[in-house]
Amino acid sequence: DAGVTQSPTHLIKTRGQQVTLRCSPKSGHDTVSWYQQALGQGPQFIFQYYEEEERQRGNFPDRFSGHQFPNYSSELNVNALLLGDSALYLCASSSKWRAGDSYEQYFGPGTRLTVT
Amino acid sequence: GEDVEQSLFLSVREGDSSVINCTYTDSSSTYLYWYKQEPGAGLQLLTYIFSNMDMKQDQRLTVLLNKKDKHLSLRIADTQTGDSAIYFCAEKRPPGGGNKLTFGTGTQLKVEL
């Protein structure tokens, strides 16, 4: 049973560029959430996708956008990169959104983004 | 307060018990979690507790919840060197709050021989 997978593992970009990160949820899961973890900090919630729609959003600017595909995989896009966007980007998957209160979230290994 | 608070660092000897503490923010949070993060890795779900419980035990792990004081703790029995990592507590706020987890800043556990 495959867990949550993310690609790429590492990425180096220049200020002003755009980046796309990818996530495949754990088998049987239909909800994907994205988090940003700056060095020495806990993860911060970016947004959550279910049924190909953004359902909830944290305190992040519109430069951060996402997409969910019919197979439940997801992409995180960041435009106009800033040095402060350098972080570990984590994807988490879960299920039972319809029950209103899914409780198990499993994280992928993350994508380390460095902006120079 | 708005932040989930944890002490930054804990050092224990191998074989001793470790207790990692956390103060969360919302007394009506539904689920509270403990995650483990090893260097360069993602987060591993260790255990979670529903808010109507006081205690949960899972092998070497014991979670205690004090809702009145919004205090959560994780006890690791017979701590091993492989337990060295950063431990995050997280809260899931009231129903209707979606899947958003709010994390603390993490406690780095160092296990010494």
Residue A96's pLDDT is 60
Amino acid code (one letter) for B93? R
Residue B1's pLDDT is 53
Q: What is the mean pLDDT of residues A59-81?
A: 97
Pick from A5-14, A54-63, A100-109: least confident: A100-109
Residue A5, chain B, CB below 8 Å: the answer is no
Q: Which helix (H) or strand (E) holds A37?
A: strand A31-37
In this model, does residue A58 exceed pLDDT 60? Answer: yes
User: Cβ contacts (< 8 Å) between B104 and chain A: which residues?
Assistant: 42
Residue A98's pLDDT is 47
C-alpha to C-alpha distance for A49 and A70, rounded to whole angstroms: 11
For residues A56 and B99, is the Cβ–Cβ distance under 8 A? yes
Contact between chains at A33 and B105 (C-beta distance less than 8 A): no
A105, A109, A110: residue with CB nearest B99: A105
HSE-CB for B84 with a 13 A CA cutoff: 11
Q: What is the mean pLDDT of residues A90-99?
A: 76
Residue A97's pLDDT is 52
Q: What is the mean pLDDT of residues B41-60?
A: 92
Cβ neighbours, 10 Å, residue A98: 10
Cβ neighbours, 10 Å, residue A54: 13
C-alpha to C-alpha distance for B73 and B65, rounded to whole angstroms: 7
For residues A46 and A36, is the Cβ–Cβ distance under 8 A? yes
Distance from CA of B103 to the nearest CA of A (A): 6
CB pairs under 8 A between A and B: 68
Higher local confidence (pLDDT), B83 or A96: B83
C-alpha to C-alpha distance for A18 and A15, rounded to whole angstroms: 9
Contact between chains at B45 and A45 (C-beta distance less than 8 A): no
Residue B34's pLDDT is 97
Residue B25's pLDDT is 87
Residues in chain A: 116
In this model, does residue B101 exceed pLDDT 80? Answer: yes
Contact between chains at A107 and B44 (C-beta distance less than 8 A): yes
Residue A80's pLDDT is 98
Residue B97's pLDDT is 59
HSE-CB for B76 with a 13 A CA cutoff: 26
Q: Give the contacts of B96 (CB within 8 A, at least 6 positions apart).
A: A100
